[in-house]
Amino acid sequence: MITEHKATLTIRGEAPLPISVLAPTQGKACLDIRTLGGRSGYFAYDSGFESTAGCKSKITFCDGERGELLHYGYPIEQLAEQCDFLEVAYLLKNGELPNAVQKQSFESAIRKQASVHEQMVKFYQGFRRDARPMALMVGVVGALSAFHHDAADFSDAERRKLSFHRIVARMPTIVAMAYKYSIGEPFMNPRSDLGYTANFLYMMFGTPRETYRPIPAMVRALNKLFIVQAEQGQDAATSTVRMAGSSGANPFACVAAAIACLSGPAHAGASEACLAMLEAIGDPTRVAEFIALARVDGSSLLQTGFGHPVYTNFDPRTKVMRAVCNELLEELGLENHRLFKVAKALEKTALEDPYFVENKLYPNLDFYSAIVQKALGIPASMFTCIIALARTAGWMAQWEEMLSDPEYKIARPRQIYIGVNRRNLSSSA
Closest CA to 183 of 31, 379, 404: 379
Q: Give the C-alpha separation, 201 to 182, whole Å.
A: 16
CA R_g for the chain: 24
DSSP state of 363: B
| Cβ–Cβ under 8 Å, residues 265 and 326 | no
Cβ atoms within 10 Å of 396's Cβ, excluding its own: 28
Residue 165 among the catalytic residues: no
Catalytic residue among 84, 235, 315, 366: 366
CA distances from 173 to 179, 199, 203 (A): 10, 9, 7
Q: Give the C-alpha separation, 3 to 301, whole Å.
A: 46
Calculate the CA dihedral of residues 323, 327, 329, 333 and round it to 10 degrees: 160
SS3 assignment, position 18: strand
| Cβ–Cβ under 8 Å, residues 400 and 308 | no
Backbone angles phi, psi at 53, to 5 degrees: -95, 125
**Per-residue exposure over 166-184, b if at least 16 CB sit within 10 Å of its own CB, e if not:** bbbbbbbbbbbbbbbbbee
Closest CA to 330 of 293, 299, 371, 367: 371
SS3 assignment, position 375: helix
DSSP bridge pairs for 253: none
Closest CA to 316 of 368, 383, 239: 368
Ramachandran assignment for 186, one of left (phi > 0), alpha (psi -120 to 50 degrees), beta (any other): beta
Residue 366 among the catalytic residues: yes
What's the first-to-final CA gap in the chain, in angstroms? 65
| Cβ–Cβ under 8 Å, residues 361 and 306 | yes
Strands 74-75 and 68-71, by their bridges, are: antiparallel
Catalytic residue among 84, 165, 308, 315: 308
Catalytic residues: 308, 366
